[in-house]
């Protein structure tokens, strides 16, 4: 007697074979990714998107990759990740009521539900792609699964996820920060999505606790910790003229990323945030103190936003303004990384530094992931959680609560003790990479029934 299935004496052909045996695992053929962007002005979003595409290609090298996202134009594109060129298909959608409903993200969830009840060919490329998908992931730009930036923006960001749920293709909520909802409506939306997803992956331990509360009691989707995907992003060679003026060979370099938004906020009559830290006043003082403390050191200004000249978030112009406040003898040792739209190339420039200070989260991750000691200047709760994953939670300046004098002392102390921090990072990074590989090798493994 067979333990599994039923064996008939007269089964002599494939047509007569038992029909209740387990299906053979199949590799994923079409992977759909949502909440990603290849050309975002925020290079942190681009960095996470490229890292995610690289992981999918690593574990599903033969799978088609479709990006369901807002983009100026759809069709075939190439994701350049270090020295690899990975083909992707961009399926364009817009939050614009002037668009046809089959390309309008406000209507795509309704179309998905309609075609779920009445299966038929659809004019919506979104619906057709979701129908064929064998794996769906939602990155939500890796920022924060929360309505803290406004309920309307949160709803708009969740529209692709609603469409996937409506099409019976529930996504994995890939490594991101889960913030406590600020409104009752935001709480209901977050719970609705979390409890219908296939799993929640949080990039810091605080977000794990929020994810557990959103997912609810058993049976609930699993909630797991997975580090930020940008830790896996490779470097790419930078052009010879990318740093102006060129750095002398062998000179120690300290990298400084100045957040243009925070810096310009200090000149506004009505600042957006009521920080205790005078960020605008601290940056010139910090640049001068770093250069005076180490006479042989060069200071490299590293922007991490790809925005037009004159934009309030422009990091490069903020760095130039800070350099202009320095005495001429110190200004000679200040160098600038020109605007680059490729986070892999910026990572390579950061790799030349022996110490790094940044206010953009993924600029700091680019340093930490290469074992470079860093201090993060935080304007929200997310940066501290990321630093804690590599044991660097004491290297944080919280702009919401810390005063400038204390912040300057902490940064200078960490600069002096950076070799100790480098040793700690060397111990932590292998576990970070091992955890990301373990999660994605499991998630993207061949499946018997991708969706039930």
- Using CB atoms within 10 A of its CB, is residue 274 exposed (0-12), middle (13-18) or buried (19+)? exposed
Residue (of 352, 338, 369, 375) closest to 243 by Cα position:
338
Domains of the chain: 30-226 (3.40.50.11930), 243-427 (3.40.50.2000)
305, two tokens: 């936003």
Q: How far apart are CA 270 and CA 403, in angstroms?
A: 20
Distances (CA, A) of 359 to 17, 139, 170, 247, 258: 63, 22, 34, 23, 6
- Using CB atoms within 10 A of its CB, is residue 408 exposed (0-12), middle (13-18) or buried (19+)? middle
> Can you give the pTM of this predicted structure?
0.91
Q: How far apart are CA 371 and CA 449, in angstroms?
A: 40
Residue (of 53, 128, 61, 41) closest to 91 by Cα position:
128
Pairing of strands 84-92, 199-202: unpaired
Residue listed under structure tokens 């494939």: 14
Query: Backbone phi, then psi, for 383, in 5-degree steps?
Result: -65, -40
Can you give the pLDDT of all 452 residues of the chain as single tens digits?
Answer: 333 333 334 444 445 545 556 568 888 999 999 999 888 888 999 999 999 999 999 999 999 999 998 776 778 899 999 999 999 999 988 777 676 777 788 888 888 888 888 888 888 888 899 999 999 999 987 677 888 888 988 998 899 999 999 999 999 999 999 988 899 999 999 999 999 999 999 999 999 999 999 998 878 899 999 999 999 999 999 998 999 999 998 889 999 999 999 999 888 766 777 889 999 999 999 999 999 999 999 999 999 998 999 999 999 999 999 999 999 999 999 999 988 889 999 999 999 999 999 999 999 999 999 999 999 999 888 899 999 999 999 999 999 999 999 999 999 999 999 999 999 999 999 999 999 999 999 999 998 778 75
Please give the pLDDT value at position 9: 42
CB distance 138 to 161 below 8 Å? yes
Ranges of beta strands (E only) in 177-290 are: 199-202, 223-225, 243-244, 253-257
Please give the pLDDT value at position 336: 96
Rg (CA), the chain: 24
182: Cα separation from own chain's centroid: 22
Distances (CA, A) of 374 to 96, 170, 246, 344, 393: 41, 38, 23, 18, 11
Say whether 87 sits in a helix, a strand or coil.
Answer: strand
Q: How many residues does the chain have?
A: 452
Task: List alpha helices for 266-338, DSSP H.
Answer: 279-293, 315-324, 328-331
The residues, any chain, with a CB within 8 Å of residue 82's CB and separated by 6 or more, are 233, 234, 235, 236, 344
């Amino acid at each position: 007697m067979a333990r599994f299935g039923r064996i008939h004496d007269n089964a002599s052909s494939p047509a007569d074979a038992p029909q209740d045996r387990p299906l053979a695992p199949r590799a994923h053929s079409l992977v759909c990714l949502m909440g990603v962007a290849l050309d975002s002005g925020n290079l942190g979003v681009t960095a996470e998107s490229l890292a995610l595409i690289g992981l999918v290609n690593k574990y599903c090298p033969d799978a088609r990759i479709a990006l369901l996202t807002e983009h100026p134009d759809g069709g075939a594109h190439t994701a350049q990740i270090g020295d690899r060129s990975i083909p992707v298909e961009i399926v364009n959608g817009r939050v614009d009521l002037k668009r046809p409903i089959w390309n309008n993200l406000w209507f795509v969830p309704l179309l998905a539900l309609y075609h779920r009840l009445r299966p038929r060919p659809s004019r919506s490329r979104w619906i057709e792609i979701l129908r064929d998908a064998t794996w769906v992931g939602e990155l939500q730009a890796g920022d924060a699964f929360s309505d803290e930036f406004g309920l309307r923006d949160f709803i708009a960001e969740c529209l692709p996820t609603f469409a996937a749920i409506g099409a019976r293709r529930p996504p994995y909520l890939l490594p991101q920060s889960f913030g406590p909802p600020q409104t009752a409506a935001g709480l209901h939306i977050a719970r609705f999505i979390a409890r219908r997803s296939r799993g929640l992956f949080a990039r810091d331990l605080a977000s794990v606790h929020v994810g557990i509360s959103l997912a609810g009691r058993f049976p609930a989707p699993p909630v797991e910790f997975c580090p930020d995907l940008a830790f896996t992003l490779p470097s790419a060679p930078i052009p010879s003229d990318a740093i102006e003026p060129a750095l002398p060979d062998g000179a120690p370099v300290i990298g400084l990323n100045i957040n243009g938004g925070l810096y310009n906020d200090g000149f506004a009559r009505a600042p957006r945030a009521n920080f205790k830290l005078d960020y605008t006043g601290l940056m010139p003082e910090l640049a001068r103190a770093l250069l005076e403390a180490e006479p042989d050191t060069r200071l490299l200004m590293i922007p991490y936003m790809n925005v037009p000249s004159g934009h309030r978030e422009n990091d490069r112009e903020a760095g130039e303004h800070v350099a202009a406040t320095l005495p001429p003898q110190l200004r000679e040792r200040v160098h600038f990384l020109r605007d680059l739209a490729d986070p892999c190339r910026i990572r390579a420039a950061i790799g030349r530094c022996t110490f790094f200070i940044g206010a953009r989260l993924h600029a700091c991750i680019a340093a930490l992931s290469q074992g470079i000691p860093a201090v993060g200047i935080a304007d929200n709760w997310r940066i501290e959680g990321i630093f804690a994953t590599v044991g660097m939670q004491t290297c944080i300046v919280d702009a919401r609560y810390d005063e400038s004098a204390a912040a300057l002392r902490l940064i200078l102390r960490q600069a002096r003790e950076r070799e100790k921090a480098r040793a700690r990072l060397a111990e932590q990074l292998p576990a970070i990479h091992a955890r990301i590989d373990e999660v994605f090798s499991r998630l993207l493994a061949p499946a018997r029934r991708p969706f039930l």
